[in-house]
Amino acid sequence: MLPALPRSVPFPKKRADILLAAGLGISFYIFGYVGNLLNLIEGSVGLVWPPTGLALGVLLLFSSNLWPGIVLGGFFVNLLVWGRPPLVGLAVATGATVGVLCGYMLLRRVGFRVQLDRMRDLIALVALGAVAGMTITSTVRVGTLTLAGLVPADRFWTTWWLDELSSIMGVIIVTPVVLLASRLRRLPRPRPRRVVEAVAVLGTAFVVMFVATHTRSELLFLIFPVLIWAALRFQVNGAAPCVLLVSLLAVYGAVIGSGPFEGQETSSKVITIQAFEVATALTSLVLAVTTIERNRAHGEVKRAADGLASVVAQLSRSLGQRLAPPAAGEAADRTSEERRVIREQIPSPRDYRADPDTPYLANPLHGDTSTTPENG
């Protein structure tokens, strides 16, 4: 049964909700400040806009009551980081909140699970939470900036497209990491070997990306074996943090213009980074979710086989207990009957001695001969 959608967006009333909303607002501002450092075009969002992914993930983990934190965090990002007028900042923050809320409600409508252990959940996160929800956010944001004269009208679609891609990648990259909090409490205590392997995966990803973003040769593709390693061995728990680390390092390399991004134009950098982020994120997450579904199917088949074997063994024991006594009795009766028939059909030597007209040695038990007791 699908969860019912609220008729209206509630306002936080409990103390815990108020504290969580305040924490979301502060985190939104911090993530917005970091996102502003990762931009190539002054006055616009960065190549990855982490606050949208953070906000959507927090709402999915808790509730839609925390929406005031998105409004406050977005307002202060526009006011303090970008220096926009208060009314413009409030309008942009409201648009971001509406987009995140729409994405949240669409995901709730289709029965999205925060464990992100089904392919349908990953598809819903990309299609509904990222594309559909962030389209509303980008349209309101860029439309407001255009009406306020902060974005030229002839650059509306270019700015909107960059804003849309940045917000979408923020959801795809950051939201899975935020949703990991729903699994941390249920994870068993890891073995030391697994901890060492996890650290090795992240360390290898960092080293490979550092080398790839500081070398003029095109070496970004070398990160894919590491992402496959993380997805196969740790599923979403390892793939999501690895994708976030790789994306941030790639974006940082594009911003400072190092390695393969040296001398590239801004448009070329944007295309390269967005294509790289989409390829790495979707490849790793799809492989991770597919591995989870395969392991789950294997476990279900194994449990079904074990259950069937148990039922067959129990049925065999039950049938053995029911059929063994009659079978033994029947075999004994058959043996007695055979012995009786033999006694009736084959006379004993005592019977031959009693009848002198019967040749004693002609008995089949003694061989066929014409010698009689009298002749002998």
More confident position, 338 or 178: 178
Q: What is the pLDDT of residues 242-255, one digit of tens each?
A: 999 999 999 988 88
- Report which DSSP code applies to 131: I
User: Given this model, what pLDDT does residue 355 score?
Assistant: 46
Distances in whole angstroms, Cα of residue 166 to Cα of each of 49, 248, 257, 289, 340: 5, 12, 19, 24, 98
281 has a pLDDT exceeding 50: yes
Distance CA 20, CA 62 (A): 9
Give the CA angle between residues 309, 314, 319 to the nearest 5°.
Answer: 125
Closest CA to 99 of 53, 135, 151: 135
Distance CA 29, CA 77 (A): 6
Question: Average pLDDT of 141-159?
Answer: 89
Give percent of the chain with pLDDT exceeding 90: 48
- Which tokens hold the place of 348? 């004993």
Give the CA angle between residues 188, 193, 199 to the nearest 5°.
Answer: 95
- Taking each continuous run of H as one helix and of E as one strand, the counts in the chain are 12, 0
Question: Average pLDDT of 101-116?
Answer: 93
Question: Average pLDDT of 196-200?
Answer: 93
Residue 112 in contact with residue 60, Cβ under 8 Å? yes
Residue 82 in contact with residue 95, Cβ under 8 Å? no
Distance, C-alpha 95 to centroid of its chain: 30
Distance CA 346, CA 338 (A): 12
SS3 category, 218: coil
Q: Which amino acid is at 128?
A: L
Predicted TM-score (pTM) above 0.85: no
Give 303: exposed, middle or buried? Use CB within 10 Å, 0-12, 13-18, 19+. exposed
273 has a pLDDT exceeding 60: yes
User: Given this model, what pLDDT does residue 3 score?
Assistant: 41
List, in order, residues 6 or more apart from 229 with CB less than 8 Å away: 201, 204
More confident position, 362 or 121: 121
More confident position, 357 or 76: 76
- Banded pLDDT at 29 (limits 50, 70, 90): very high
List, in order, residues 6 or more apart from 280 with CB less than 8 Å away: 223, 224, 227, 243, 246, 247
- Which tokens hold the place of 200? 């090795």
- Which tokens hold the place of 253? 């390399």
Q: What is the pLDDT of residues 294-312, one digit of tens each?
A: 988 888 888 888 888 888 8
Distance CA 223, CA 309 (A): 45
Range scoring the smallest mean pLDDT among 65-69, 132-136, 182-186, 232-236: 182-186
- Report which DSSP code applies to 6: P
366 has a pLDDT exceeding 80: no
User: Given this model, what pLDDT does residue 219 score?
Assistant: 87
User: Given this model, what pLDDT does residue 331 score?
Assistant: 53
Distances in whole angstroms, Cα of residue 207 to Cα of each of 88, 219, 223, 225, 301: 42, 12, 10, 13, 40
Closest CA to 175 of 134, 129, 136, 140: 129
Closest CA to 291 of 331, 233, 242, 347: 233
DSSP per-residue codes, 75-89: HHIIIIIS---HHHH
**Straight-line distance from the first to the last Cα atom of the chain, in angstroms, rounded to the nearest whole number:** 104
Distance CA 82, CA 78 (A): 5
Q: How many CA atoms does the CB half-sphere of 162 hold within 13 Å? A: 24
Distance CA 158, CA 71 (A): 25
